[in-house]
Amino acid sequence: MPFIAADKDYFYNMEKSLPREGLAPLRRVKRAFEEFEYAEARVRFEASALEPVARTMLEGLISLGAKGMKGSYDGGCDEGWAFAEEVLFASGAKDAKDACRELASTQLVNALRKAGEKRGAFGEDDSADRVIADAMDDLAMELASALLFKGFGTGEYVIYGDFEADFATGVIVDDPGAMRRRRRGGSR
């Protein structure tokens, strides 16, 4: 659970229910007129456990040489969101929006449409750009949910942070230096 502002009892009850073995102790951080608690977070994800669209995006990114992803998340009260920020390659990081533009002209679009058929993830009129961008954020949401918990952001608290996922090892780590973004909500 990275940065959280909540009623003290709520936070500690939630924090006690999560695996803490080997993680640093909590520390208090003052940011933007709110007091947040920070708890280190690190998990390993399994590609096979991802939903079909996110798994297909992950496989597509790996096939193109991606080594990892940096993402961000925020939420609170009733919803949580996660977004892809950068795709990591051996040659360096690429802004997720730039990576999406490049991927929109690949066969990955068709694979994503097929992966999303069962849940109706994409409309017939959705552009290739839209399919890729939504799938990239689906992957970010799945990774953030693995790091935090399914349904993060739903409760009497506010949460935000950044993470980095290593595609080769499956390790996702939270960034203790994350700054709170101004955006709140499900749109970029």
State yes or no: pLDDT of 31 exceeds 50: no
Helical residues (DSSP H) of 33-127, grouped into ranges:
52-63, 96-103, 108-116
Share of the chain above pLDDT 90, in %: 45
* pLDDT for position 109: 92
CA distances from 61 to 87, 142, 150, 167 (A): 8, 15, 23, 9
User: Using CA atoms, how far apart are residues 97 and 188, in angstroms rounded to an integer?
Assistant: 11
Domain count within the chain: 1
Task: Tell me, yes or no, whether 179 lies in a domain.
Answer: no
Residue 185 lies in a domain: no
Of 130 and 40, the one with more pLDDT: 130
Average pLDDT over residues 54-74: 94
Structure confidence by residue, pLDDT tens digits, 133-162: 999 999 999 999 898 877 666 666 677 889
The answer to whether residues 138 and 57 touch, using CB atoms and an 8 Å cutoff, is: yes
Neighbouring-strand partners of residue 10: none
**pLDDT averaged over the chain?**
81
Residue 113 in any domain: the answer is: yes
pLDDT at residue 180 above 90? no
Once rounded to an integer, what is the mean pLDDT over residues 13-32? Answer: 54
Specify the pLDDT at position 120.
80
pLDDT-derived band at 6 (thresholds 50, 70, 90) equals low
48 occurs within a structural domain: yes
Residue 132 lies in a domain: yes
Higher-confidence residue of 27 and 48: namely 48
**Domain range holding 139?**
3-174
Q: What is the pLDDT of residue 24?
A: 56
Q: Which pLDDT score is estimated for 132?
A: 95
Say yes or no to pLDDT of 117 above 70: yes
